[in-house]
Amino acid sequence: MTPLRAGILAAVVTVILDQASKLWLLNGFDLAHRGVVRVTPFFDLVLAWNIGISFGWLQNDGQAAQIALMAVKVIAVVALAIWMARSHTLLATIALGLIIGGAIGNGIDRLAYGAVVDFALFHIDIGGNTYNWYVFNLADVAIVAGVAGLLYDSFLGVPAAKAP
């Protein structure tokens, strides 16, 4: 399999898994009506609608803001796809596919719901205080894994991935 095909496959699988998990949690599991579902002592399922960008920054549900976020996302996906098409290392190409798939998955949410569906919450209790991580989804996991892969390939890969 060529690196480009592997990157495209990574993007497609990411979108499918991300959207399937969200559709199941929303419609099959009915997370909206269940509220917080404790899975382990440190992990819960909880429905959160993110109208902003990463980590809930730039929260704005206005139509102009949503259109602007989608425009930026489209430009980013096109730029990453060009980079992926020019990449020659398998790791960088798969990493770019993960980022593209995650961006598309969250973009589908924004088009369908006007917000990104987040559901995974890690937390820890220390001394009677609960410390929560940001609520996230599988698309976010793919994006973070893709960025980690690009960093690894850029610094330790031979030859290092080069952005266009």
pLDDT band at 54 (very low <50, low <70, confident <90, very high): low
DSSP string, the chain: --HHHHHHHHHHHHHHHHHHHHHIIIIIS-HHHH--EEEETTEEEEEEEE-SSGGG-S----HHHHHHHHHHHHHHHHHHHHHHHH---HHHHHHHHHHHHHHHHHHHHHHHHSSEEEEEEEEEEETTEEEEPPPB-HHHHHHHHHHHHHHHHHHHSSSPP---
Q: 31-47, pLDDT tens digit by residue? A: 999 999 999 999 999 99
The percent of residues in the chain predicted with pLDDT above 90, rounded, is: 75
Average pLDDT over all residues of the chain: 90
pLDDT band at 5 (very low <50, low <70, confident <90, very high): very high
Q: 16-30, pLDDT tens digit by residue? A: 999 999 999 999 999
Q: In this model, does residue 128 exceed pLDDT 80?
A: yes
Average pLDDT over residues 94-107: 97
> Which residues form the catalytic set?
118, 140
- Whole-structure pTM value: 0.88
Average pLDDT over residues 50-71: 68
